[in-house]
Amino acid sequence: VPLLQAAGKKNSNLLEITEAELQEQFVRGDGPGGQATNKTNNCVVLKHVPSGIVVKCHQTRSVEKNRKIAREILQQKVDLLYKGQDSDVFKEKKALEKKKQEKKRRTKENLERKKLLKEMQELDKK
């Protein structure tokens, strides 16, 4: 039974999922796109039977690309479910969140400095 591998190099520690554990369906996608969306079954619905996690992917018009993307997303979700806070996905998400908060803090400090500098310049003019 072939094992699914995530495309990213950093996701190599994720739990492995076998094809036997998956149920796959192809359905019509929704959203914008008109006739291209309404006439083709290129939306992939992937279910991991043991955990009950369902992923729906309709990011591209290609069925093969959607299948690959759906498997990557499903693998990350299954890993997060079983490993919890020890999951690499969870750790990466926390690191990105921390980085974003740090950037916000620096931006706020810079704004306060600029405001203070402007006030000092106004006082010097008077």
Q: pLDDT per residue over 74-105, tens digit each?
A: 988 888 888 888 877 788 888 889 999 999 99
Q: Where are the domains of the chain?
A: 19-83, 85-125
- pLDDT band per the 50, 70, 90 thresholds, residue 12: low
- Which positions ≥6 away from 80 have C-beta within 8 Å? 87, 89, 90
- Which positions ≥6 away from 7 have C-beta within 8 Å? 68, 72
How do residues 32-81 score in pLDDT, each as one tens digit?
777 767 778 889 999 999 999 999 999 888 899 999 999 989 988 888 88
Strand order across the beta sheet in which 53-57 lies: 22-27, 43-48, 53-57
What CATH architecture applies to the domain 19-83? Answer: 2-Layer Sandwich (3.30)
**What gap in Å lies between CA 29 and CA 27, rounded to an integer?**
6
| pTM of the entire predicted model | 0.64
How do residues 13-29 score in pLDDT, each as one tens digit?
677 788 888 999 998 88
Whether 15 and 75 have beta carbons less than 8 Å apart is answered as: yes
